[in-house]
Amino acid sequence: MTALRDAFLSAAVALGLFGPMVGLVTVSSDHGLFLRARPVAVAVIVGLVFFGRLGMLTWRGRNRAEATRANRAFAERITRAGKYVTPVLLLAALALPFSGSRYYVDLGTLVLTYIMLGWGLNIVVGLAGLLDLGYVAFYAVGAYSYALLATTYDLGFWTCLPLAGILAGCAGVTLGFPVLRLRGDYLAIVTLGFGEIIRIVLNNWVSLTNGPNGITGIPRPTLFGLRFSMDGGDGTFAGFFNLEPATIQRVIFLYYVIFGLALLTNWVSLRLRRMPLGRAWEALREDEVACRSLGINVRNTKLTAFGIGAMFGGFAGAFFATRQAFISPESFTFIESATVLAIVVLGGLGSQLGVALAAIVMVGGLEALRDFLSFLGDQMGSELFSGIASELPLYRMLIFGLALVVMMVLRPRGLVSGRTPGVSMTAPKEIDAELVAQGRS
């Protein structure tokens, strides 16, 4: 009975929340704005909330201990499955270009870029526990470094890649210095401000960056000096191997470049975790005051985390610039930072496999869903499915935002909790996932 009453209350609140915002749409016309009513949409949402709440309350009624046990079993199963998932994923990633479909290779490149960004941010957020909301700034620094160096000084991609990384790393350390003393939430706001400053400067410093029009004609990378151009001459990839020149060769090459870069990021962060530096990061994440009392140099630890994380962001940015051949400040908004952060958080703050899975689900999964829906719409000639498919990109960030909230409420340590400390004195004790969730151990 209480459940029913509660559900009614929730429905009433939902009516208040969504009634005006969804039910009355402001539409522009020649005579200014006017309102259009959408009662059906409101009714659907309120109904969903009512039954959703009712279902939730009934489901939650089951035994608490049983739920905890089920939770723990689920976490264990995922962790154990991780052993087999990694090689399978690697093989699938290696084999993807052999599918020969340009669409899948492009999608794979996009997903891998996000995986690489996620692994880079994971060093800052997941390992060192510094919440960085301006990660896109370093991505932008890397992209613009490569674009400007390549178009101004005629340098190649492989020369510029380390330079872009170094410049982004320097930007990371420069940002790191003033914010060393700041606590978690202040740090988040300041890094966010830094990201916005970089974007505004890129937008307005027209003489250097060409402002909102962006930089065009950024050169593509070469394979040991072999270009991927369509003329099929001597210095080109197709000419050297006596192949028919095709765009797909370049697409596949770019895919393997980002695959290699992502693996490099993963390898470096896995190795760093075993070094004293990586251990200091993890200690810092757990307790800053304890770190300082144990003689860890908090300043250097934080700065290296910022610098190395930013460096990988810079690599990814340089790759982004060379892949698109065009960049503008539009590509470096807060939404990008939020997307990467969402991937890291959903992946479980510190787990390498988790980040990869989250990126696949969040970037690739949504794209695949859209594809599937528009395919269904085409097949069945149904307006509904193709309508949803064309609207889906709009809902992408909405789903991201909700996923962040739901994730924090249900499993604050992420889907794949990879928080096993790098070192321990004795055999690790088993800690109840619920306790970890509440931050008690």
Partner 1 sequence: MAYALQQLINGITLGMIYGLIAVGYTMVYGIIGMINFAHGDVFMVGSFLSLIAILGLAALGITSVPLALVLTLLFAAAIAALYGWTVERVAYRPLRGSFRLAPLISAIGMSITLQNFVQVSQGARVKPIEAIIPGGIQLMDRGGFAVQLSWMQIAIVVITLTILAIFTWLVTKTPLGRTMRACEQDLKMASLLGIDTDLTISLTFVIGAALAAVAGFMFLLYYGVIDFYIGFIAGIKAFTAAVLGGIGSLPGAVLGGLLIGLIEVFWSAYFSVEYKDVAAFAILIVALIFLPTGILGKAEVEKV
Length of the chain: 441
Residue 49 CB, nearest distance to partner 1 (Å)? 11
| Residues 303, 305, 306, 307, CA torsion sign | positive
* Radius of gyration for the chain, computed over Cα atoms and rounded to the nearest angstrom: 24
Nearer to partner 1, 85 or 403 (CB): 403
Q: Which of residues 349-368 bind partner 1 (CB under 8 A)?
A: 349
DSSP reduced 3-state for 316? helix
Among 56, 89, 155, 182, interactor with partner 1 by CB under 8 A: 182
167 in Cβ contact with 141 (< 8 Å): yes
Per CB under 8 A, which region of 50-58, 88-96, 178-186, 244-252 contacts partner 1? 178-186
Contact call for residue 39 and partner 1 (CB under 8 A): no
Residue 24 CB, nearest distance to partner 1 (Å)? 5
C-alpha–C-alpha distance, residues 131 and 189, integer Å:
9
Contact call for residue 435 and partner 1 (CB under 8 A): no
Per CB under 8 A, which region of 150-158, 301-309, 360-368, 405-413 contacts partner 1? 405-413
**CA dist 48 to 25, 129, 310, 427, Å?**
20, 37, 43, 48
The two structure tokens encoding residue 77: 């199963």
The two structure tokens encoding residue 190: 């300041």
Per CB under 8 A, which region of 78-86, 165-173, 183-191, 375-383 contacts partner 1? 183-191
Per CB under 8 A, which region of 63-71, 89-97, 124-132, 300-308 contacts partner 1? 124-132
Contact call for residue 408 and partner 1 (CB under 8 A): yes
Residue 269 CB, nearest distance to partner 1 (Å)? 19
Binding mask 131-160 for partner 1 (x = CB under 8 A): x-x---------------------------
Q: Which of residues 67-96 bind partner 1 (CB under 8 A)?
A: none
Per CB under 8 A, which region of 156-164, 191-199, 272-280, 309-317 contacts partner 1? 191-199
Among 44, 67, 92, 201, interactor with partner 1 by CB under 8 A: 201
DSSP reduced 3-state for 411? coil
418 in Cβ contact with 350 (< 8 Å): yes
Among 117, 123, 143, 192, interactor with partner 1 by CB under 8 A: 192
248 in Cβ contact with 105 (< 8 Å): yes
143 in Cβ contact with 321 (< 8 Å): yes
Residue 46 CB, nearest distance to partner 1 (Å)? 14
DSSP reduced 3-state for 326? strand
Among 345, 415, 416, 433, interactor with partner 1 by CB under 8 A: 345
Query: Which among 91, 121, 137 is positioned nearest to 259, based on CA atoms?
Result: 91
Among 162, 193, 276, 421, interactor with partner 1 by CB under 8 A: 193
**CA dist 268 to 112, 181, 313, Å?**
16, 27, 14
Task: Specify the amino acid at residue 130.
Answer: L
Q: Which of residues 325-344 bind partner 1 (CB under 8 A)?
A: 334-335, 338, 341-342
**Full DSSP string of 140-203:** HHHHHHHHHHHHHH---HHHHHHHHHHHHHHHHHHHHTTTTT--HHHHHHHHHHHHHHHHHHHH
Binding mask 287-326 for partner 1 (x = CB under 8 A): --x-------------------------------------
Among 2, 29, 30, 33, interactor with partner 1 by CB under 8 A: 33
The two structure tokens encoding residue 248: 């797909």
Q: State the chain's maximal CA–CA distance in angstroms.
A: 80
Query: Number of H helices and number of E strands within the chain?
Result: 18, 4
Per CB under 8 A, which region of 30-38, 74-82, 248-256, 368-376 contacts partner 1? 30-38
Residue 256 CB, nearest distance to partner 1 (Å)? 33
Contact call for residue 40 and partner 1 (CB under 8 A): no
Contact call for residue 394 and partner 1 (CB under 8 A): yes
Among 4, 8, 9, 35, interactor with partner 1 by CB under 8 A: 35
* Reduced 3-state DSSP string for 82-108: HHHHHHHHHHHHHHHHHHCCHHHHHHH
Helix 135-153 vs helix 334-347: angle between axes, to the nearest 10 degrees? Answer: 120
Contact call for residue 178 and partner 1 (CB under 8 A): yes
Write out the residues near partner 1 by the rule CB under 8 A.
Answer: 13, 16-17, 20-22, 24-28, 32-35, 125, 129, 131, 133, 178-179, 181-182, 184-186, 188-190, 192-194, 196-197, 200-201, 203-204, 289, 334-335, 338, 341-342, 345, 349, 394-395, 397-398, 400-405, 407-409, 412-413, 437-439
